[in-house]
């Protein structure tokens, strides 16, 4: 469903009317357009606090882009910014600055004392108002779980509040802010994540904290135009909505997609499978024999699976006192138990290939709870628990992560009463709903071969919703 208010407010008449009435004026978000599009363009400023661990990786990733790269000077606390490599030109942040930035990237991973947090102020204060529309802020830190001393853990944890607040301040420009926490010696694993968070692919992801660990596998080279070429993906609930977009996006990036949905959706399954050059599979994932049917389908294809995206989901809303038993049972069965059963079967038969990816779809309701959704919220919180536990036990380079969408424009949200729909759309830093492709792009980043160190994460695709954490 289209957001008429967003369209209206982006006309000159609509914009001045919104200003006069004090209404939100969301910016039309720039999304990924073409496969050869660079992940970032324009002017990018890099800064680093002392002891920065990832500054060289940041410099070389940005150095390979067509962006004009600068490193901050003018403050003693920012001296290590110069390690960003020869492509980065110096820019004195204490002098007058007349340019607009498409991104500000700060490496805070070396901070050990809370007094060093001042470097954040010294870097961001002079330039934050120079961010352009649809721009990006990315801060990199050291995962506090790996900090031995309290002052270091405190300074690294402080980055979370800082970044989440920046996201709220810059959202009106259609800009996002995210934090990447790196484990020790995982600095060279940031490639796909830094590119994702700087690119239009993360248009609706803001205020998020991602952990990158040291993966079992090395840094794999990928074809940037088709990073998933030669891979096989299974997407459940793929005949429409978010699942359809996931199938399209993984196929765009080179994967062959098994398009699974309920038998009643066969016509749509076939249409989507044909469009994405994939394989149709009609199967109700709650049926007792569904894990076997899926496993045999994968065996018959002969290569095993690289990606499983557990997207199929239902809502059966009622307040708990009014909820019929079958509403409870169905919601838990589709949204949670089916995922476990399918993974168990595929893992037992060794059908998930080395460096495979399992991606689950949770929801903001699973983080914050929601009136009338005790069953749905329980299932989606359960998904988070499942992902966190599985991440600790999976072997063979297989990762597992979840996305937690907020308000996404689909048939599900189009069916909401108008006032609830409008509130859902506007109650986030970007003052608009997301699109299915925003969820799909986040899943494609998890699936990227270079995201081997990204496991056990729950990333909200919610425009930094005001609801929940
Ligand atoms: P949707 O209803 O448009 O699509 C869900 C798909 O899952 C449908 O095609 C449906 O047929 C399929 N499905 C349902 N039960 C199944 C079963 N037993 N076996 C096989 N397939 C089954 O919903 P959507 O909005 O695209 O949501 C996709 C996922 O995203 C769901 O898990 C949903 O909970 C989650 N989500 C959506 C939003 C949103 O704003 N739309 C927000 C948060 C989370």
Q: Which of 187-196, 289-298, 330-339, 419-428 has the lowest mean pLDDT?
A: 419-428
pLDDT for the residue 218 = 59
Q: How much is the pTM?
A: 0.96
Q: 3-state DSSP call for residue 45?
A: strand
Check: CB of residue 433 under 8 Å from CB of residue 236.
no
Residue 465, phi then psi, degrees to nearest 5: -55, 145
Q: What is the mean pLDDT of the chain?
A: 94
Asked if pLDDT for residue 349 goes beyond 90, the answer is yes
Ligand 1 atom, smallest distance to 380 CA: 34
pLDDT for the residue 219 = 59
Asked if pLDDT for residue 1 goes beyond 60, the answer is no
Please tell me if the CB atom of residue 440 comes closer than 6 angstroms to any atom of ligand 1. no
Put residue 230 in one of left, alpha, beta given phi > 0 → left and psi -120 to 50 → alpha: left
Residue 454 in tokens:
């990204």
Higher per-residue confidence, 403 vs 417: 403
Residue 152 in tokens:
């270091």
Q: Which of 8-17, 54-63, 190-199 has the lowest mean pLDDT?
A: 8-17
pLDDT for the residue 420 = 83
β 279-282/305-310 pair status? unpaired
**pLDDT (tens digit per residue) in 102-122:** 999 999 999 999 999 999 999
Q: Tell me the CA distances in angstroms from 223 to 129, 197, 450, one per residue in order.
A: 36, 19, 11
The continuous run of DSSP H or E covering 281 comes out as strand 279-282
Ligand 1 atom, smallest distance to 310 CA: 32
User: What is the CA(238)–ligand 1 centre distance, in A?
Assistant: 8
User: What is the CA(199)–ligand 1 centre distance, in A?
Assistant: 26
For a ligand 1 pocket test, name from 204, 412, 423, 435 the mutation site with the most ligand atoms within 8 angstroms of its C-beta: 412
**pLDDT (tens digit per residue) in 53-97:** 999 999 999 999 999 999 999 999 999 999 999 899 999 999 999
pLDDT for the residue 269 = 98
- Which protein residue's CA is at the shortest distance from atom 10 of ligand 1? 237
pLDDT for the residue 469 = 66
Question: Region 10-17: what's the mean pLDDT?
Answer: 68
Q: Which of 19-28, 47-56, 110-119, 150-159 has the lowest mean pLDDT?
A: 19-28
User: What is the CA(108)–ligand 1 centre distance, in A?
Assistant: 39
Among 187, 125, 195, which residue's Cα sits nearest to residue 162?
125
Asked if pLDDT for residue 314 goes beyond 80, the answer is yes
Ligand 1 atom, smallest distance to 338 CA: 18
Which of 5, 204, 376, 386 is flagged as catalytic?
Answer: 376
For a ligand 1 pocket test, name from 1, 204, 236, 237 the mutation site with the most ligand atoms within 8 angstroms of its C-beta: 237
Q: Which of 23-32, 324-333, 343-352, 362-371 has the lowest mean pLDDT?
A: 23-32
User: What is the CA(233)–ligand 1 centre distance, in A?
Assistant: 17
Please tell me if the CB atom of residue 164 comes closer than 6 angstroms to any atom of ligand 1. no
pLDDT for the residue 18 = 62
Please tell me if the CB atom of residue 284 comes closer than 6 angstroms to any atom of ligand 1. yes
**Residue in the block written with tokens 């994540």:** 193
Q: Kindly state the percentage of the chain with pLDDT values over 90.
A: 86
Query: 2: pLDDT confidence band, cut at 50, 70 and 90?
Result: confident
Please tell me if the CB atom of residue 272 comes closer than 6 angstroms to any atom of ligand 1. no
In the residue annotation, 376 being an active-site residue is answered as yes
What angle do helix axes 241-252 and 266-276 make, rounded to 10 degrees? 20
Domains and CATH numbers, the chain: 1-28 (no CATH), 31-212 (3.40.50.720), 232-461 (3.40.50.720)
**pLDDT (tens digit per residue) in 455-466:** 999 999 999 999
**pLDDT (tens digit per residue) in 32-53:** 988 789 999 999 999 999 999 9
**Other CB atoms within 10 A of residue 314 CB:** 16
Ligand 1 atom, smallest distance to 365 CA: 43
- Which protein residue's CA is at the shortest distance from atom 39 of ligand 1? 408
Question: Rounded distance, CA 342 to CA 310, Å?
Answer: 9
Please tell me if the CB atom of residue 463 comes closer than 6 angstroms to any atom of ligand 1. no
User: What is the CA(350)–ligand 1 centre distance, in A?
Assistant: 27
pLDDT for the residue 99 = 94
Asked if pLDDT for residue 406 goes beyond 70, the answer is yes
pLDDT for the residue 20 = 66
Q: Kindly state the percentage of the chain with pLDDT values over 70.
A: 95
Ligand 1 atom, smallest distance to 285 CA: 19
Asked if pLDDT for residue 407 goes beyond 60, the answer is yes
């Amino acid at each position: 469903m289209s957001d008429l208010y967003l369209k209206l407010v982006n006309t000159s008449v609509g914009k001045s009317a919104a200003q006069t009435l004090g209404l939100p004026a969301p910016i039309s978000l720039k999304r990924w357009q073409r496969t050869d599009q660079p992940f970032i363009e324009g002017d990018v400023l890099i800064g680093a606090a002392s002891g920065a661990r990832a500054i060289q990786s940041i410099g070389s990733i940005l150095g390979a882009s067509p962006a004009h790269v600068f490193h901050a000077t003018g403050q003693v606390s920012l001296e290590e910014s110069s390690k960003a490599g020869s492509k980065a030109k110096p820019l004195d942040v204490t002098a007058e600055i007349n340019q607009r930035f498409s991104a500000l990237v700060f490496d805070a991973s070396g901070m050990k004392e809370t007094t060093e947090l001042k470097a954040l102020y010294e870097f961001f204060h002079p330039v934050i108002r120079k961010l352009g529309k649809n721009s990006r802020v990315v801060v990199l830190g050291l995962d506090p779980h790996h900090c031995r001393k309290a002052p270091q853990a405190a300074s690294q944890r402080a980055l979370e509040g800082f970044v989440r607040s920046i996201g709220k301040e810059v959202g009106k420009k259609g800009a996002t802010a995210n934090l990447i926490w790196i484990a020790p010696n995982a600095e060279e694993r940031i490639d796909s994540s830094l590119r994702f968070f700087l690119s239009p692919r993360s248009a609706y992801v803001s205020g998020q904290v991602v952990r990158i660990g040291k993966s079992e596998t090395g840094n794999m080279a990928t074809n940037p135009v088709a990073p998933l070429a030669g891979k096989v993906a299974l997407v459940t609930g793929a005949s429409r909505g978010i699942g359809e977009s996931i199938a399209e996006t993984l196929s765009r990036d080179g994967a062959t997609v098994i398009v699974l949905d309920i038998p009643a959706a066969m016509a749509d399954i076939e249409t989507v499978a044909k469009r994405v050059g994939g394989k149709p599979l009609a199967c109700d994932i709650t049926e007792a024999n569904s894990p076997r049917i899926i496993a045999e389908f994968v065996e018959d294809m002969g290569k095993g699976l690289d990606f499983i995206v557990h997207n199929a989901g239902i809502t059966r809303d009622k307040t708990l006192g009014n909820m019929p038993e079958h509403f409870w049972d169905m919601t838990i069965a589709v949204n949670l138990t089916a995922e476990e059963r399918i993974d168990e079967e595929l893992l037992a038969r060794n059908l998930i290939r080395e460096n495979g990816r399992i991606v689950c779809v949770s929801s903001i309701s699973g983080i914050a709870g929601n009136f009338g959704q005790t069953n749905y919220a329980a299932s989606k919180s359960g998904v988070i628990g499942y992902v966190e536990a599985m991440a600790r036990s999976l072997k063979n380079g297989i990762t597992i992560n979840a996305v937690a969408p907020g308000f996404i424009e689909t048939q599900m949200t189009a069916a909401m009463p108008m006032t609830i729909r409008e509130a859902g759309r506007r109650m986030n830093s970007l003052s608009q709903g997301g699109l299915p492709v925003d969820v799909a792009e986040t899943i494609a980043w998890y699936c990227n071969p270079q995201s081997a160190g990204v496991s056990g994460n729950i990333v909200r695709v919610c425009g930094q919703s005001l609801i929940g954490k």
